[in-house]
């Protein structure tokens, strides 16, 4: 049985939508009477406006989720298997978690422990890191150095580099990234040459474009299964979604 409020809400919404279309069918007194009826009802039942706003938000979220799923299906290779990304955990794992991050993102720093625990607790997890430098020029420069560092580091060694750089105190930019690279013994001349390659700038731009197509407006953001998860939602929520992906290929079975 339908809820009475839902019926009323649908009726009011339908009437409001129909009025502009059918306005020409009513005389001026009739239009005035209808407007008065609607106004008086809304004044007497203001909760209807709240319900309408909630319904609108729900529909918008559904539309956004559907649009994101379409992008994930269309751009699956760029999201999960690009040649411009770091792969951690099990590189041949059956379940993938993609993180879009910024080295100056405070929430990314907080979420680092969640990512580490997910890798430790799931030997079949493949983690993909996507540089998504949205917090200014320093973030872009740090991402350029980190991208170049991947030419010399991979797997556990790049994971060490990533953790050191992400957890650097204060603002992170080119100098901080170079300092971490030097500490880890990288070939600094090669690193700076690779970082200056125009291809690095172009590929970072392509990741930003990819993030925009997924409606990612903050970091960290994750792609797992057919869903985009925005924000540092915590270990438990990510683990639950990953377990579902392993079971049925979706974040909710």
Q: Residue 61 domain-assigned?
A: yes
Q: Residue 253 domain-assigned?
A: no
- Say yes or no: 48 and 149 in one domain: no
- Say yes or no: 86 and 60 in one domain: no
Q: Could you give the number of structural domains in the chain?
A: 2
Question: Which residues span the domain enclosing 51?
Answer: 4-65
- Say yes or no: 140 and 199 in one domain: yes
pLDDT in 10s for each residue of the chain, 253 residues:
445 444 455 555 555 555 555 556 778 888 888 888 888 888 888 888 888 888 877 788 878 888 999 999 999 999 999 999 999 999 999 999 999 999 999 999 999 999 999 999 999 999 999 999 999 999 999 999 999 999 999 999 999 999 999 999 999 999 999 999 999 999 999 999 999 999 999 999 999 999 999 999 999 999 999 999 999 999 999 999 999 999 998 898 8
Secondary structure of the chain in HEC code, one letter for each residue? CCCHHHHHHHHHHHHHHHHHHHHHHCCHHHHHHHHHHHHHHHHHCCHHHHHHHHHHHHHHHHHHHHHHHHHHHHCHHHHHCCCCCEEEECCCCCEEEEEEECCCCHHHHHHHHHHHHHHHHCCCEEEEEEECCCCCHHHHHHHHHHHHHCCCCCHHHHHHHHHHHHCCCCCCCHHHHHHHHHHCCCCHHHHHHHHCCHHHHHHHHHHHHHHHHCCCCCCCEEEECCEEEECCCCHHHHHHHHHHHHHHCCCCC
Domain final residue pick, 65, 94, 115: 65
Q: Residue 148 domain-assigned?
A: yes
């Amino acid at each position: 049985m339908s809820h009475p409020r839902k019926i009323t809400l649908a009726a009011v919404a339908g009437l409001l939508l129909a009025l502009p279309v059918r306005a020409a069918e009513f005389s001026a007194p009739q239009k005035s009477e209808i407007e008065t009826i609607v106004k008086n009802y809304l004044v007497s039942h203001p909760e209807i406006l709240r319900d309408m706003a909630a319904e609108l938000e729900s529909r918008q979220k559904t539309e956004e989720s559907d649009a994101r799923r379409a992008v994930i299906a269309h751009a699956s290779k760029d999201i999960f298997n690009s040649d411009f990304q770091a792969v951690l955990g099990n590189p041949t794992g059956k379940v993938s978690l993609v993180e879009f991050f910024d080295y100056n993102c405070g929430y990314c720093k907080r979420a680092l422990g969640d990512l580490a625990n997910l890798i430790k607790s799931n030997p079949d997890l493949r983690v993909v890191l996507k540089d998504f430098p949205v917090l200014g020029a320093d973030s872009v420069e740090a991402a350029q150095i980190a991208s170049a560092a991947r030419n010399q580091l991979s797997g556990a060694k790049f994971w060490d580099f990533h953790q050191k750089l992400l957890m650097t105190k204060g603002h992170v930019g080119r100098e901080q990234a170079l300092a971490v690279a030097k500490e880890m013994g990288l070939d600094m001349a090669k690193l700076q040459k690779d970082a200056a390659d125009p291809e690095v700038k172009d590929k970072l731009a392509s990741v930003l474009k990819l993030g925009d197509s997924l409606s990612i407006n903050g970091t960290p953001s994750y792609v797992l299964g057919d869903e985009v998860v925005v924000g540092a939602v915590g270990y438990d929520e990510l683990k639950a979604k990953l377990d579902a992906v392993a079971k049925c290929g979706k974040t909710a079975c």
